Amino acid sequence: MKVLAMVLAGGQGSRLHPLTAERSKPAVPFGGRYRIADFVLSSLTNSGIQAIYILVQYKSQSLIEHVNKAWTRAPGVAGQFITIVPPQMREGPEWFQGTSDAIFQNINLIQRHKPDMIAVFGADHIYRMDVRQMIDFHRQHSADASVAALPVPLAEASGFGVIDADDQGRIRGFLEKPQNPPPMPGDPGRAYASMGNYLFDTEVLLTALREANENGEHDFGHHVLPRLIRTHRVFAYNFADNRVPGVADYEEQAYWRDVGTIDTFYAAHYDLLGVEPRFNLFNPQWFINSSPYQGPSPRIIAGEIVDSVISAGSLINGGRIDHSILRREVIVEEDVEIEDCIVMDYAVIRKGARLRRTIVDRYNEIAPNTRVGFDAAADRQRYVVSEGGVVVLGKRQYVPDVTRYAT
C-alpha cells in the first residue's frame, strides 16, 4: 500500500494574533521545544508514511526554515521525503482558495507518485495518531474516503463541524455547527466532530477534485465530501478507537486539541504539566520530533521552581517559577516571579519583574520591576488580552519598566 501525505499548513491563524503576526499557525511554538506542525508530521512518520508534501501559504518562511532544520531526510532514499510546496499557481494567478483547491493546484504531484491512497491532514492541531489504524479501517470497510471523527459531548458539539453517520460508520451528512447535532451511532450523549483529517483512494480523490474545480468549489468539508457521500462509500473513523504505543493509562487516550484561539492554545499547554499529565510528551515509543537544537542543558543557579518546564539553554538565577513553561535560552534574573506563564525562546526577564497568566513570545526583554497580568485595564492598553484574560506579548515587543503598578 503506497500512501502519499498532503499536509495542509497554510493556515493564517488570525485568532492566534499576535503569535501569528510574523508566522503561520502551524509554525507557532508549542510546549518546551516544538512547533504545532511537528505533531502531524510525527504522527505520519511514526505511522510509516514517509512521502509527505507540506503545502504552505501565509507567512511561511518560519515554517520553511523549521522544516528544513528539523525534518530533513537522508538524500537518495527512494520514496522518502518531506518537501515544502508553496503555491505554484499552475492553474492561474490565485493562491490556494481553500483546502481542496490546495490539493487540486498540486494534482501533478499526486500523478507523479501514483500512490494507492492519499492522506490529507491538517497541520494546526495538537494530537498524536497512529494513521495505520485509520488506513486499516478504510480498507476493511472498502471505503472510497474516510474522515477522522472525534467524539465530543453532545452539549458541546454545536461548536464543531458535525458528522452524521449510521451504525456502520457510513457518513450520511455534514453539518456545520448545528443547533441540534445528531448523536454518534450507539452513543446518544456524544456526537462526531470532524478533525479535518482525510483518507482517499487516489482515483476517487482526483475525480472529485476535478469536479470541484469545474464547479468553482474549493473546500473538502463544504463541497467535496458532501458530494462524495451521495455517490461513494465515505466513512467516519472513530478517533477514540486509536491507540498509540506507549501512552500511559493516566493520559487522555484520544487527545486532540484545536489550538485556534489564544485561550485554547494557552489551556493546551497545561495538559503537559503535572506528575500525570493529560498529554505526556515523553514517550520513547512515539517520539515527537522537532528541531535538533544543540545548545547546553539549562542552568539553575538559585530559585524555586514548581510544576514547570525549563528548556535547554535557559538560565535561572533566582526568583520563583510556578506552573509555567519556559522554552530555550530564557534568562530569568533575581527576584522574578513567573506564575501560570508561557515564555518563549530568547526572552529575558529582568530583576524584580512579575508575570502572571501571560504568554511572552520570542525575543522579548521584560524590564526590571515590570508587572504584567495584575491590572487588566493597564494590560489592555499595552498588550493583547484574550477573552479568558490571558495577556499576550507579541514577538520582539520590548516591555518597559512599569513600576507604578507594583504591589
Q: Hey, what's the cell of 67? A: 522544516
| Secondary structure element (H or E) that encloses residue 38, with its range | helix 37-46
User: Which residue from 112, 23, 76 is spatially nearest to 362, judged by alpha carbons?
Assistant: 23
194 assigned binding-site residue: yes
Q: Do the beta carbons of residue 198 and residue 149 sit within 8 Å?
A: no
176 assigned binding-site residue: yes
DSSP secondary-structure letter at 184? B
User: Which residue from 267, 395, 257, 387 is spatially nearest to 325, judged by alpha carbons?
Assistant: 267
Q: Hey, what's the cell of 202? A: 487516489
Q: Hey, what's the cell of 405? A: 503598578
| Secondary structure element (H or E) that encloses residue 256, with its range | strand 256-258
310 phi and psi angles, rounded to 5 deg: -120, 115
Beta partners for residue 325, in sequence order: 309, 342
- Sheet hosting strand 358-360, strand order edge to edge: 309-310, 325-326, 342-343, 358-360, 391-393, 384-385
d(CA 319, CA 134): 48
198 phi and psi angles, rounded to 5 deg: -130, 150
SS3 (DSSP) at 16: helix
Binding annotation = 161, 176-177, 194
Binding annotation for alpha-D-glucose 1-phosphate = 161, 176-177, 194
